[in-house]
Structure 1
């Protein structure tokens, strides 16, 4: 669960308490899709995986529940939310408002070394797609967007974006084979990079908005959600173009 990928800057803590460490690791795991929608979060099981006592994990889960990153069952067990179709659509709308704003604000702050880093991440993303590796594809996608967003230099905006990523992560992981199998690819990162390199911040923001909206529509057509009705004993029909 503890991967080397860094979190958004606004989620770095000065404290190094066990509670904060557990919180950061579980939070990052949600963003990265290490937990599936509907998965229960047993305190003792997670504590064992993290190599800590149950108390820090219990505190971390309570924080994530208060942030609405996790839901809680009547039994008191935390659970990864499985979104309804409407909730997923609204999540896409919120992302399409917040993330393009971050790109627009960041575009003027990108120096040459940052643009070179973005080009490297774009190549990693393209290589992952070509090799059919959904794990590396999703990782490169997150890293590319993070490398952009962190230059907006607005912690409040970054915090709001990460709140949506906490809900996005498990569902995008569940849809990883749909995402990598999409043809043509819905990724417009190459176009975004060209726009920011030419100082077209409005253009970069609009391209990202179209990407988020397009991906949301694509997944809404092909994924199952919490409120979908599926007849008992029958498989859900495969949706095709």
Structure 2
């Protein structure tokens, strides 16, 4: 298959967008797909294929990809193509550290002001996530990622920080390949689930115990990253 043919192949994980605010809508669609782990590490995003999938011209796609490169969610290859960054141990450590630091502060803030209605919503989201883990496989890997994102950002919005929230969103964009990789590992190991950390986090928030809430969050983040580390080590040893 030549390059012109591969350029016309639809990009999984993307839906068509309308014409209103085209540049922003393309960026938001790509961002959503990155956050939800729709793209694999190392996946090349060809502009023409993305444009065809979204039903737009090349220009807004080029601008959106460039913006995502600037934000660290994508990277430019020597041949000028754009790809999702590879998973490396150094990147694992860096993202894990940054997420625990920033998201931990948001959880600390949320513990002070979260209300009963939000706690009830978190329970519903965790129940849905728990059910999704039961049917988790490669085909449904994105489902758990979407539900997990909904859960975490319900907490982060409750923190009320307009400064920290976009920083976390950027970290989640960069974490997309890791979200996908961990979902695949969970799918291969039905006995594993991260949902118990969600329940612990809810209990701590309801009790307004900020330290316990932060500890539960850190356990939630590091479990998935540790699973990827272990999987990488097994692959190297084979």
Deviates more, 1:158-167 or 1:178-187: 178-187
Alignment partner, residue 190 of structure 1:
199
Deviations 1:9-48 (A, max 9, x none): xxxxxxx521111111111111111111111111111011
Offset from partner CA, 1:91-142 (integer Å, 9 cap, x none): 1111111111111111233222211111110110111123335433222211
Match in the other structure for 1:210: 219
The whole-number CA distance in structure 1 between the counterparts of 2:24 and 2:210 is 36
Is the partner of 2:222 in helix, strand or coil? helix
Deviations along 1:129-188, one digit per CA (max 9) or x if unpaired, are 233354332222111111111111112211221221112112221332312426453330
The aligned counterpart of 1:12 is none
Helix, strand or coil at the partner of 1:155: coil
Q: Which moved more, 1:180-189 or 1:111-120?
A: 180-189
Gaps of 5+ in 1: 4-15, 231-235
Q: Could you say which residue in structure 1 is the equivalent of 2:24?
A: 20
Q: Which of 136, 145, 155 is the equivalent residue of 1:138?
A: 145
CA distance in 2, matches of 1:189, 1:66: 32
Q: Where does residue 101 of structure 1 map in the other structure?
A: 105
Q: CA deviation at 1:201?
A: 1.9
Alpha-carbon distance in 2 for matches of 1:75, 1:130? 42
Distance in 2 (CA, whole Å) between partners of 1:209 and 1:165 is 15
Other-structure match for 2:7: none
The TM-score with structure 1 as length reference comes to 0.82
CA distance in 2, matches of 1:132, 1:46: 27
Following the alignment from structure 2 to structure 1, what is the Cα–Cα distance between the partners of residues 136 and 38?
A: 19
> 1:118 aligns to what?
122
Q: Which has the higher helix share?
A: 2
Give me the whole-angstrom Cα distance separating, in 1, the residues matched to 2:43 and 2:233: 15
1:91 equivalent to 2:91? Answer no
Residue range with higher mean Cα deviation, 63-72 or 103-112:
103-112
1:210 positional shift:
2.2
Contact 2:110/2:205 (CA < 8 Å) preserved in 1? no
Partner of 1:149: 156
What 5-or-longer segments of structure 2 have no aligned partner?
1-12
TM-score by length of 2: 0.83
Cα RMSD after superposing both structures: 2.1
